[in-house]
Amino acid sequence: MSKLLVLSGKGGTGKTTIALALINLFHSKAFADVDVDAPNLHLIVNPQSLANKKDFIGGKIVKIDQTKCIQCHQCEQACKFDAISNLKVNEYLCEGCLACVQVCPVSAIDVLDDISGETMTYDNQDNFFATAKLKMGRGNSGKLVTNVKEQLPEVKEISVIDGSPGIGCPVVASINGVDMVLIVTEPSLSGMADMERIIKTCEILDVKYMVCINRYDINMKITNKIQEYCKNKHITIVGEIPYDPNVISYQNKMINIINVETSAKASIVNMSHKIIEKIKEEESL
């Protein structure tokens, strides 16, 4: 099984739209959305089966037992995250370091599992979809991303993973173990700058990657700069997708753009063939 991860240095480049189209074109039997802070692939995939939901334990959190507490306030003084105030624990500030537990003279602080999020898997008749949602304020996104990826079964077809924007912990976790990364960029100053950042990230993590320029015709000046940058670094551009105002309306209606006629469709279909060729080429090396 080859795993293709779709990333973008910034949000709004059309990453999820393209990931969904590739899932359809590759006839993927296993795919995932690992943008655990703001997952949205499920809105358009529209799984037919009921979700198998599981709590995700991301770490530990503490709770003060007021019946045992002698109000010495040593826990407040020991907490370096200001998570304890008036002998109450703020769950959004608590880092689970357990320093308060160590200094409490009467063992009045209980250590609990921190339910940091939830994983959802959908075992449909012809495919398997995995995703997750991290609770607000939790910082274990990397662990949750890894958890989602581990849910995917082994299949013969290419598995498509819709990643998160940026270059932070969830992106690093999503890159680990994949065979190829498709970087979706756009011809804007921020789009190009963030593309360069995610390319550097892929190089540091030693993963193969290629580039797709979405809405390439909205600013040819920057598109030319992206092309020149990729040429100088010997980076393969597998697709240049034209802007189509109808795409947004189809997305709002939860319609996969591969299932309708758009000016972008032909470019995405052509790109899918190049991606397969690129993956086969890398596998043969």
> Which CATH number does the domain housing residue 255 bear?
3.40.50.300
Helix H or strand E segment including 271? helix 265-284
Last residue of a domain, one of 115, 135, 156: 115
Asked whether residue 30 falls in the same domain as residue 87, the answer is no
Predicted local distance difference test score (pLDDT) of residue 136:
83
Q: pLDDT grade, residue 1 (50/70/90)?
A: low
Please say whether the beta carbons of 98 and 111 come within 8 A. yes
Asked whether residue 142 falls in the same domain as residue 236, the answer is yes
For the chain, give me the number of helices (H) and strands (E)?
10, 11
Establish if 52 belongs to a structural domain: no
Range with the poorest average pLDDT among 129-143, 208-222, 246-260:
246-260
Query: Which are the contacts of 210, defined by CB distance < 8 A and separation ≥ 6?
Result: 180, 181, 182, 183, 235, 236, 237, 238, 275, 278
pLDDT in tens, 169-191: 899 999 999 999 999 999 999 99
Structure tokens that stand for 208 in this block = 């193969």
Asked whether residue 140 falls in the same domain as residue 109, the answer is no
Establish if 210 belongs to a structural domain: yes
> Which CATH number does the domain housing residue 73 bear?
3.30.70.20
Structure tokens that stand for 232 in this block = 């100088």
What is the SS3 assignment for 21?
helix
Handedness of CA 122, 168, 142, 147 (dihedral sign): positive
What is the SS3 assignment for 273?
helix
Last residue of a domain, one of 69, 86, 115: 115
The phi, psi pair for 275, rounded to 5°, reads -65, -45
HEC string of 103-149 equals HCCCCCEEEEEEEEEEEEEEECCCCEEEEEEECCCCCCHHHHHHHHH
Predicted local distance difference test score (pLDDT) of residue 228:
97
Write down the residue that tokens 């309708």 correspond to.
Answer: 260
Mean of per-residue pLDDT scores for the chain: 92
> What is residue 257's DSSP assignment?
G
Asked whether residue 99 falls in the same domain as residue 140, the answer is no
Provide the 10 A C-beta neighbour count for residue 212. 26
Asked whether residue 63 falls in the same domain as residue 140, the answer is no
Asked whether residue 79 falls in the same domain as residue 195, the answer is no
**What is the domain count for the chain?**
2
Establish if 254 belongs to a structural domain: yes
Asked whether residue 38 falls in the same domain as residue 74, the answer is no
Asked whether residue 85 falls in the same domain as residue 162, the answer is no
Establish if 166 belongs to a structural domain: yes
Asked whether residue 106 falls in the same domain as residue 131, the answer is no
Asked whether residue 76 falls in the same domain as residue 202, the answer is no
**Domain coverage including residue 62:** 57-115
pLDDT in tens, 92-130: 899 899 999 999 999 999 999 999 999 999 998 889 999
Asked whether residue 34 falls in the same domain as residue 171, the answer is yes
Query: Which are the contacts of 88, defined by CB distance < 8 A and separation ≥ 6?
Result: 64
User: In terms of DSSP bridges, do strands 84-85 and 52-64 run parallel, antiparallel, or are they unpaired?
Assistant: unpaired
Last residue of a domain, one of 77, 95, 115: 115
Query: Which are the contacts of 224, defined by CB distance < 8 A and separation ≥ 6?
Result: none
Structure tokens that stand for 49 in this block = 């089966």
Asked whether residue 183 falls in the same domain as residue 253, the answer is yes
Write down the residue that tokens 């279909």 correspond to.
Answer: 269
pTM value?
0.89
In this structure, the chain runs to a length of: 285
Comparison of pLDDT for 128 and 253, the residue scoring more? 128
Handedness of CA 171, 174, 175, 180 (dihedral sign): negative
Helix H or strand E segment including 40? none
